[in-house]
Homo-oligomer: A and B are copies of this chain.
Amino acid sequence: MIAHTESFEIITRGKGTYEITDVVQRIVRSTGVKNGLATVFIQHTSASLIIFENADPTARTDLEEYFERLVPENTNYFVHTAEGADDSTSHIRMVLTRTSESVPVAHGRLQLGTWQGIFVFEHRRSSHRRRIVVSVLGTKE
């Protein structure tokens, strides 16, 4: 039984989605776990994680535009705006997506479907350093 915890950082450059599948897969491989579970966790409340289609980038264009309208920056009743118009919107967009994503591991590989990738969803306008923790639990057989 292996219980491995490791973290890494990425730099985001404003709102949008940033794929991290390869980094997570490399961490899983380095543990030697063949069967188990990988859990990816982001240590922030204004960015989140999603598993999303990673083939056609227009799917992400529509997603990002949809979230701009679902939680608009010009919402007049928001009071938590000390850090700007993208303050409360960031927290709410995070709540509507995920802080963690869990993916089963078999044969030493993340059991993602053909079109699935793991993405950081940045909700802030400006560049941010985001820390992601990966937990890998499982066995070497």
Contact = CB atoms under 8 A, between A and B. Distances in A.
B35 A59 contact: no
A77 to B, nearest CB: 6
Interface in A82-141: 82, 87-88, 91-92, 94-106, 111-116, 131, 133-135, 137-139
B101 A35 contact: no
Contacts of A111: 5, 7, 41, 43, 133
Nearest to A112: B43
Contact of A45 (B1, B46, B52, B101): B52
A63 to B, nearest CB: 6
Contacts of A50: 95
A79 to B, nearest CB: 5
A56 interface: yes
Interface in A57-83: 58-59, 61-63, 65-66, 71, 75, 77-80, 82
14 contacts: A3-B33, A5-B36, A37-B137, A41-B103, A43-B113, A45-B113, A45-B115, A53-B91, A59-B91, A61-B80, A62-B91, A100-B101, A102-B135, A104-B134
Interface of A: 1-5, 7, 33, 35-37, 39, 41-46, 50-53, 56, 58-59, 61-63, 65-66, 71, 75, 77-80, 82, 87-88, 91-92, 94-106, 111-116, 131, 133-135, 137-139
